[in-house]
Chain A
Amino acid sequence: MNVTVVGAGVAGLTIATELVERGCRVEVIDRAQRFGRDTCSWYAGGMLAPWCEGDTAEEPVVRLGQEAIGWWRRHVPDVIEQGSLVVAPSRDAGELARFARRTQAHQTLDATGLAELEPDLEGRFRQALFFDREAHLDPRRAIAALTGKLHESGVAISYGTSLEDHGVNGSVIVDTRGFAARDVLKDLRGVKGEMLVLKAKGIEFSRPVRLLHPRLPVYLVPRGGGHFMVGATQIEAEDRGRITARGMVDLLNAAYAVHPAFAEAEIIETGADVRPAFPDNLPRLRWHGRTLHVNGLFRHGFLLAPACARMAAEAINSPGYKPELMDEDHRERSIA
């Protein structure tokens, strides 16, 4: 089986990896010149936090997301399995109670318990939730590691190449272009996200910290060396422009609320991009002739890519197989 994967973001590369492991001949093309600011995955937080996502996401995200930690551990180095923390300012303590009610697999820490896990948060919060089975990774290093392994397996990854220029070599095309596939996936929409990277002095975390807020929940993911990724806004807009002043103020305020030391941090980087999402914010696999679309990973790219990749690879290798995220009606219509 020859497969052409269009898109070298987290969805495309995980699918390529799963296909190679099943003995397929795979090539990957991407219209970007390199992995960077043109790809949604570049801006990801890299939290592997399926239980936390259960606060707002539907059940499949929590269940399928649990595959992610083991998958990433098997395929890239540096998956950090230290759990994750959820905190709330004292005026929003009710938010923490609500979050605890609606999520599983956590324990409640008091101020002492929190300080034992994260000494730099000593005295900052009276309560926290600890999700000890969650993990995180650095998305850019993870993509680089996957790319390297695919190269070693003989997979060509051609940047600066679109399907029109390249022609179709594979007997199956997997389209993982994200929001760019809106031209064929009419029910796909874009949800803008904004993020920034801070470099702080004298403060380190071992695990991601989420700050609950009635309007804007924000997380800080440690990247090592005093670097923290702060994300992410969620706006019903399809504008790929830069971060807005309001987005920046919201994210910085949240970081400052977690620890005043962030007031002195340097702003290393800002970013904004558009997440692809279907109306229920769950991913879909959808056949259009011999093209398999895998899209709509929304804010769950690194969390759901392993499950989507498994389903896509099985669907390609076993024509009768319909995984749970497959849009059945659409496939039957396009085959008829």
Chain B
Amino acid sequence: MRLYGVDIGSRLLLGTAQYPSPAILGDAVEASRAEIVTVSLRREAGGDQHGQAFWTLIRDMGVRVLPNTAGCHTVKEAVTTAQMAREVFDTNWIKLEVIGDNDTLCPNVFELVEAARVLSEDGFEVFPYTTEDLVVAEHLLQAGCKVLMPWGAPIGTGLGLNNVYGLRTMRAHFSDVPMIIDAGIGLPSHAAHAMELGFDAVLLNTAVARAGNPVAMAQAFAQAIEAGSMARSADPMEARDMASPSTPVLGKASLG
């Protein structure tokens, strides 16, 4: 998988919030074999120099950091947070999240497209958290995005892929754009499903962080994503309505 010119081996991106402790977070990242982790700046910041011990722990994990603008509601907030992230983590990458509704944490796609344009012009490499809407996706690409991150389901719900038809259509429509399913994943089987549909990777946080054993769950996701990815490249059979015997009956010896 190639994201903004960088080759990434792992198909799992892991969020860093809500773990029982930074030590467990570190073990989970290792077990997941993720090469990219997301970090929310807005909540953990509190000021320019604060939160640094936690950020240092993240940097020391030896993985690539994708800072995100979690919790931002407007273009201005998101742009300011992205600029701060660029200074703290010394990266042009930014996961762009602009929330439009507090109950569903649904993206505000209008502000999202505008923020993506402003940030791309400013030299950022934007990973937009979006819906499966094709028109919005087209506008994000025009705004300069070279990766798309449609939701599986609302953030933190763990419902899996809510609109399989919409996601399949999106995959088919933008077949050359790297696409990462972001949010809503609850179980490894959801992640495997996303990979079987042909998505390039899966980004998740709560499903691992809030599991009873986050480290084991991280490993389970790594295996499921590998399985889904392998299945996709193995060209699965087509589903069909009528049963078809796997062993032909014709020519079988008839007894009695």
Contacts and interface: CB of A to CB of B under 8 A. Distances in A.
Interface of A: 56-58, 98, 101-102, 188-190, 192, 214-215, 235-239, 241, 244, 277, 279-282
Contacts, number: 60
A58 B51 CA distance: 23
A58 B45 CA distance: 26
Nearest to B55: A236
Contacts of B45: 237
Contact of A238 (B21, B23, B53): B53
B43 interface: yes
A238 B57 CA distance: 14
B24 A239 contact: no
Nearest to B24: A280
A4 B19 CA distance: 37
A236 B156 CA distance: 20
A236 B57 CA distance: 11
B241 to A, nearest CB: 36
A58 B213 CA distance: 11
A235 B17 CA distance: 10
Contacts of A235: 43-44, 46, 51
A237 B212 contact: no
Interface string B108-149: 000000000000000000000000000000000000000000
B53 A281 contact: no
Nearest to B212: A102
B216 to A, nearest CB: 14
Interface residues of B, number: 22
Nearest to B27: A280
A188 B23 CA distance: 12
Nearest to B45: A237
A295 B45 CA distance: 24
Contact of A56 (B20, B44, B53, B57): B20
Contact of B57 (A101, A189, A192, A282): A189
Given A57-B20, A281-B23, A239 B46 contact: yes
A279 B57 contact: yes
B174 interface: no
B22 interface: yes
Contacts of A236: 44, 51, 53-54
Contacts of A57: 20
B5 interface: no
A237 B57 contact: no
Nearest to B20: A56
